[in-house]
Amino acid sequence: MTTTVLTGLLEETAPAKVNLTLRVLGKRGDGYHTLESLVSFTTIGDRLTLKSGVDLGLSVSGPTAAQSGPVEDNLVLKAARLLAERVPDLALGAFDLLKRLPAGGGLGGGSSDAAAALRLLARLNKLAPDDPRIAEAALKAGADVPVCLDGKPRVMRGVGEVLSPPVALPPLFAVLVGPGFPLATKDVFAALGLAPGETRGEPTPDGAVPKDREALYAYLAENGNDLEAAAIGLAPAVGDLLERLRTLPGCRLARMSGSGSTCFALFDDARSSADAAMKLGPANTGWWVRATMLAR
């Protein structure tokens, strides 16, 4: 994640979020699910720029812009307005969003875009990154926005409001594959079928994530994505994709990210992930395929 100052513009990348694990620990009485997820970020993502001195606005372009929905509903504008409600006389501006990540794919593209908007506004208004008003606006904007604010690997808990200290991960390389269709988060959680008040386990303590690569793979194998089976029930093609990823040379683990439909495969080195992307992309023109490295 980088911030760049252009002439008259501020620019941020909005990296893809990957849920390396996703445990659903229960369902609250208000209908929200309590989660525990080891989250990391990638070297690829969307790009957001901010032009100051003009009215709040947003333009969206890029290869996946058509998937992002109406501009007025975009989380970039929602996050900006939420921060403006909390910071008197907040200087705003016109955002330009270059969409590269697929929508509805479990990569947190909209949440990462919203977090990038908050970082840009903080920079423009000389707000400290740890200003509590930024965190408040992030949580109001969406459950995944707080963990996207600094783009560091963390364990997120609750409904996204409880974040562990940054987690040190070994080098991990991945290929991300979107199968060409979205999955609605609410539909996947509904298919999980938890009743209000039902619990499924306890959170793990901070410090439980291993730093050694082999130990980390064992940890990931033991802590999966509880939404995978529900997603496959709704879209069997997700299961087919996972089986395909597991056959790739050098694949150490294949899993769905978030509520899907994007899946990922992990590798020990960049060459293996790049080879996997070259093997998958040309043969599956309807898929979104990218090789990347996960943040450490």
- Residues annotated as part of the active site: 17, 144
| Closest to 112 measured CA to CA, from 16, 249, 184, 236 | 16
- Cis peptide bond upstream of 272, omega within 30: no
Per-residue DSSP letter, 225: B
Contacts of 198 (CB under 8 A, 6+ apart): 26, 27
Q: Where are the beta strands (DSSP E) in the chain?
A: 3-6, 9-19, 23-27, 33-52, 57-61, 93-98, 154-158, 162-163, 173-178, 253-256, 263-267, 288-293
Cβ distance 290 to 175 under 8 Å?
A: yes
Radius of gyration of the chain (CA): 19
Query: Any idea which residue has 């560091």 for tokens?
Result: 152
CA gap 192, 90 in Å, rounded: 41
